[in-house]
Amino acid sequence: MWASRGSWSGRTLSSKCSRRGAGAPRRINDGWKLFGIDAARVFSSLIKVLIVGAGRWGHIPSRVVERNLPLVTVVGVVGRDWQSQLVIRKPDAVIVASPSATHADIVVKLLDLKIPTMVEKPLATTLQDANRIAEAWCKSGEPPFLVDHTQLFSPAYARFREIVSKNPRTYFGLSMWTDTIQISDRMAVWEFGPHPISVIADCFSPRNIGCSVATNGSGYRIICDDMAFYAVMLGFSEYKRRIFNACTEECTYTLDDLAPLGMRLMALSHTTSFATTLYTPATPPLAVAIGTFLDAVCGGPSKDDRRMGISLPLRVVTVLSMLDQLSRQVAC
């Protein structure tokens, strides 16, 4: 159905994609240059995006597109009638921002139509659903596909990952503070865990990841083969926090996931004074994630980005499933 309208593997999109008509186009943010995306090329044609999910999370990507992505048009933010709206609006790509438990049914149908799809994290809330999506993606010919693990598109995280890759003798720790163990009928790890687990999976790919309950009962161990150790401490606090610590021979680095002004990376030298670096990119990480996805839709180099595809989000769901089971054992 959609294949006849154009190809996601090349620059040609739908027959209705065209240059923006009269009126001043939105200015291309120079911040794109930080992420290796040629915004002038990617957004030179009008790209139509449909957002599935009419709740709060559905309107967030809509606002981000409006403010940051020139020549990208959101043709609708739709709810349960998304399938009929898909036929009417004929988008070039779809962003799924519905409740996590509904992702699998929606995404599988989109992939059956070979439609480029971006999904709000997590990919799914069960390993069975995640595998269904993975199978559908492979059968569909692997169109551009991205799960919005937003923090992976932050400059602070990029720097943190670079430090990790250059310092094999590094000790790691992750502390997560939450105000609840269980949210509705889902464990807190599904609500609070996708971001930090995606950082671990991306930093240490392709190492195997395992989980166990800490011996003192105050947290969980996440082990990446025999090369890295994470102590995940699930504490209770009025404020939600996720903090990574990486200790090298020269410095201790702290990646603060939920800093008030955005993700920041702090460095404490073991021999000199304390220094803080605050990363505040001109382009929000979510906008970069969407831009990376659309670059792949347009046939750009982002199609080969390590964060694209099913491998990373499937690893994240696998680890979350293990933590879910451990959390239920602890809660009993």
**CB 62, CB 37: distance < 8 Å:** no
Q: What is the pLDDT of residues 122-179, one digit of tens each?
A: 999 999 999 999 999 999 999 999 999 998 998 888 888 888 788 766 777 777 666 5
C-alpha to C-alpha distances, 164 to 196, 199, 228, 246, nearest whole angstrom: 15, 11, 11, 8
C-alpha to C-alpha distances, 75 to 44, 46, 89, nearest whole angstrom: 17, 11, 7
Q: What is the pLDDT of residues 281-311, one digit of tens each?
A: 667 889 989 999 998 998 888 888 999 999 9
In whole angstroms, give the CA distance from residue 97 to residue 150.
13
Average pLDDT in the chain: 76
Residue 157: the pLDDT is 87
Residue 174: the pLDDT is 75
Please give the domain boundaries of the chain with CATH numbers for all domains: 3-148+286-306 (3.40.50.720), 152-282+318-331 (3.30.360.10)
**CB 258, CB 240: distance < 8 Å:** yes
Q: Which residue has the tokens 């702290």?
A: 254
**CB 116, CB 95: distance < 8 Å:** no
Share of the chain above pLDDT 90, in %: 32
Residue 74: the pLDDT is 93
Q: Torsion over CA of 133, 134, 137 and 142, rounded to 10 degrees? A: 150
In whole angstroms, give the CA distance from residue 163 to residue 159.
6
Nearest to 92 by CA among 46, 126, 41: 46
Packing angle of the helix pair 56-68, 285-297 (nearest 10 deg):
80
Q: Tell me: pLDDT of 216 over 60.
A: no
